[in-house]
Amino acid sequence: MGKLWLLYVWEVKARTQVITFIAMLALYAFLLQLNISPLPSNPPLSEAATSTLMNVFSGVLDKLFLLLVPVSAVLATFSIAYEADTGVSKLFLSLPLKRSTVFISKIMSMITMLFLPFIVAFLGFVVNIDPTLSHIPYVFADRRIYFALTICILQILFVLSIAILSASLVNQTMLAPLPSIIVFFFIYYIGSMLPRAGSYIPPFSLQNALFELRLPSAEYSAQVFMSLIVLSFITLAAFVASFYAYVNKEVP
């Protein structure tokens, strides 16, 4: 655990990771503020604040997907493929460290760089719509908020998992981002052209889930839960495949 923590701190302090954290914090905050709608009162009523947050989640989700695709690809490339391409990985192999420990530290650092800024930006946004915080406890008592947060976090993890898999399979820095970017934009194109098929693939499947969540008395359909379960399975499978590829890859 000590080696894992030291590697994690070393990864987090890397210049690429720090720049990513600052950039994502600014971009997340911009996207959230971009989708805010006028509130009927100040401080807002709890239901009005909840509705505002749900509308914001719905407006942010597709833009979040398009933002995460290139950022995740570049982050994973510099953390994994670049080290193999430049020979930095040989340094890790020369140390008494397991490849699994190195890979897990990289995964943890990349998740932190994409996940933590989103949480910070979201909390800042919540304070912005209700500076007195008087109605926030009522807002967070609504399970729809947690469900919407879970959907956004799942999208972040899904995009990152595919980007990491691409970087783990390709050792060349210039080529590593291309597979994941091509896959994601192909998925987005199919979802845009075929609405029926798009309801089963991200980000459109997640948009459908949020649409139902915006209704206070919504009956959450089996299709929505199934799409989230399938997406969770794909995300986990991509992380496992990345782990296997990294641990068993030949380092030039």
Q: What pLDDT is recorded for position 196?
A: 67
pTM, rounded to two decimals = 0.87
Closest CA to 16 of 57, 74, 81, 55: 74
Residue 40 has pLDDT above 70, yes or no: no
Q: Are 6 and 95 in contact (CB under 8 A)?
A: no
Residue 220 has pLDDT above 60, yes or no: no
- Amino acid identity of 129? I
39 membership: H or E segment, kind and range: none
Lowest mean pLDDT among 27-36, 76-85, 142-151, 203-212: 203-212
What value does the mean pLDDT take over residues 146-163?
88
| CA dist., res. 42 & res. 19, Å (int) | 36
Q: Is 12 exposed, middle or buried (0-12, 13-18, 19+ CB in 10 A)?
A: middle
Look up tokens 């959907």; give the residue.
151
Which one has a higher pLDDT value, 94 or 66?
Answer: 66
Please give the DSSP secondary-structure letter assigned to residue 78.
I
What value does the mean pLDDT take over residues 83-111?
80
What value does the mean pLDDT take over residues 166-172?
87
Q: How far is CA 108 from CA 4, 20, 96, in A?
A: 10, 14, 20
Residue 32 has pLDDT above 90, yes or no: no
Q: Are 245 and 168 in contact (CB under 8 A)?
A: yes
Which one has a higher pLDDT value, 240 or 4?
Answer: 240
Kindly compute the dihedral angle of the four CA atoms of residues 85, 90, 91, 94, in this order, to the nearest 10 degrees. Answer: 170
Percent of the chain scoring above 90 in pLDDT = 14
pLDDT class for 237, splitting at 50, 70, 90? very high
Lowest mean pLDDT among 115-124, 153-162, 198-207: 198-207
| CA dist., res. 156 & res. 224, Å (int) | 18
pLDDT class for 52, splitting at 50, 70, 90? confident
Q: What pLDDT is recorded for position 21?
A: 87
Q: Is 4 exposed, middle or buried (0-12, 13-18, 19+ CB in 10 A)?
A: middle
What value does the mean pLDDT take over residues 48-73?
81
Residue 140 has pLDDT above 70, yes or no: yes
Residue 219 has pLDDT above 50, yes or no: no
